[in-house]
Amino acid sequence: MIISEIELFKGIDFEVMNKIAKICSEESYSKGIVLFRNNEKAESLYIIIEGTVYLEVKNGGTITYSLNDPGEVFGWSSMFESGRYTATGICATDLKVVKIERNRINKIFSIHPDAGIKILRRLGTVFSNRLSNAYRDLLSARSSVSGPAIWMNENIISNAPEEPFFDVPDNWHAQV
């Protein structure tokens, strides 16, 4: 996999890409290996070459997000100040990735902040897309299963009063 062809790095200056390429390592992991755990210090960003990784979030229940497209990025928490993984990364199959250590790429970003900003913006898009997909999946799952939350939402919509809940005096003005 040529790192400069990955969406995350497209358009980055050639000199900067050479520096980034030098700090990348290609790693292989066996099915079942846990790459990182939720709330661990986030040390590395990963880019899929081949295979599938599950990102698992537990909070009362479990939500599993599956990634398997070459070029998909995970471990993005390593690029942010919080520096803690927000999920557990588990190899669903044998997995080959490009691994980039946080401290090494941050050194490049400190010398080339314009490249760092471009990459962080693209990571923001990755995050936004995953969040949108998670919302869609959650709503889809909720709509296929009846439960109190769905009942409450339908009940509120179907039982909305015809009249306002309170009267607003004619002489009342909103302050903005």
pLDDT tens-digit profile of 132-165?
877 787 777 766 654 444 333 333 333 344 444 4
Q: In this structure, is residue 102 part of a structural domain?
A: yes
Count of structural domains, the chain: 1
Q: Per-residue pLDDT for 69 more than 50?
A: yes
Q: In this structure, is residue 58 part of a structural domain?
A: yes
Q: Per-residue pLDDT for 122 more than 90?
A: no
142 vs 173 pLDDT, higher one: 142
Q: In this structure, is residue 165 part of a structural domain?
A: no
pTM beyond cutoff 0.85: no
152 vs 24 pLDDT, higher one: 24
Q: Per-residue pLDDT for 63 more than 90?
A: no
Q: From CA 51, how far away is CA 41, in angstroms rounded?
A: 24
Q: What is the residue whose two structure tokens read 């979030």?
A: 57
Q: Per-residue pLDDT for 117 more than 70?
A: yes
Long-range contacts of 61-67 (CB under 8 A, 24+ apart): 63/134, 63/138, 65/130, 65/133, 65/134, 66/92
| pLDDT-above-90 percentage for the chain | 48
Q: In this structure, is residue 159 part of a structural domain?
A: no
Q: In this structure, is residue 154 part of a structural domain?
A: no
Q: In this structure, is residue 169 part of a structural domain?
A: no
Mean pLDDT, the chain, whole residue set: 81
162 vs 89 pLDDT, higher one: 89
Domain with 21 in it: what CATH number? Answer: 2.60.120.10
Structure tokens at 52: 């599938």
Q: In this structure, is residue 26 part of a structural domain?
A: yes
Structure tokens at 48: 């899929």
Question: What domain range includes position 52?
Answer: 3-138
Give the pLDDT of residue 48: 96
Q: Per-residue pLDDT for 24 more than 80?
A: yes
Q: In this structure, is residue 172 part of a structural domain?
A: no
